[in-house]
Amino acid sequence: MGGFVSYSHKFRQININDKQKQWGASCTSFSDVSKVFINYITGKIQKFPFSEGTIALETSALTDILVKLNENKMFTINSQPRVNAALSTDEKFGWGPELGYVYQKAYFEMFIHKEMLPALVDHLNQNKWVNYQAINIQGEKFQNVEDDEVNAVTWGVFKDHEVVQPTVVDHQ
């Protein structure tokens, strides 16, 4: 498969006893799911089905809101905090070569129950600066962006370099 890594295979290699120690023996309610997500966010467990490693240092800026989202059945699998002109050498937010500044738009990626989506969309539509995209298992789309829009959510400005945009979000 030419460099393709099967994450499902890698995930299966984790010992079932290790999984049960970290996540519990059974998961039968939203509360059980919420507990696993929150324990990962707060560092109480190190392994998580939706991540290869431990939580990034920059995520600590979002811990309180991530816990609140996950307590309320919005199960976050990816996020980043807003960053405005942090030094590229900053321990928490920096990246890239020295003598640079980095920027990030905040975002959250999550699983949410279909019954909660209309209220969330209504809330998000109250702020024209917020973009969202959602899709359900039937392929129905809920979004306030055009299909061909691309949104840079991370970029950096470095001495003697063009602007670097390592993270963009597109509808595809």
Specify whether 49 is located in the same domain as 83: no
> For 143-164, what is each residue's pLDDT tens digit?
999 888 888 999 999 999 999 9
Radius of gyration (C-alpha) of the chain in whole angstroms: 18
Full-model pTM: 0.84
**Which domain does 117 fall in, by range?**
77-172
In the chain, what percentage of residues exceed pLDDT 90? 68
Q: What percentage of residues in the chain have a pLDDT greater than 70? A: 90
Q: Is residue 60 part of a domain?
A: no
Encoding tokens for residue 8?
Answer: 């499902």
Return the higher-pLDDT residue of 133 and 4: 133
What confidence score (pLDDT) does residue 15 get? 72
Q: What pLDDT is stored for residue 103 in this prediction?
A: 98
How confident is residue 138, by pLDDT bands cut at 50, 70 and 90?
very high
- Residue 132, classed as helix, strand or coil, is coil
Half-sphere exposure of 79 (CA within 13 A, CB side): 24
Same domain, 36 and 93: no
Place of tokens 């995209």: 133
Average pLDDT over residues 35-48: 90
pLDDT at 8: 46
Token look-up 């959250």 returns 108
Residues 7 and 41 in one domain: yes
Summarised one tens digit per residue, pLDDT across range 80-114 is: 999 999 999 999 999 999 999 999 999 999 999 99
| CA distances for 43 relative to 31, 36, 57, 59, 159, angstroms | 18, 11, 11, 11, 36
* Average pLDDT of the chain, as a whole number: 88
Do 90 and 126 fall within a single domain?
A: yes
Domain count, the chain: 2
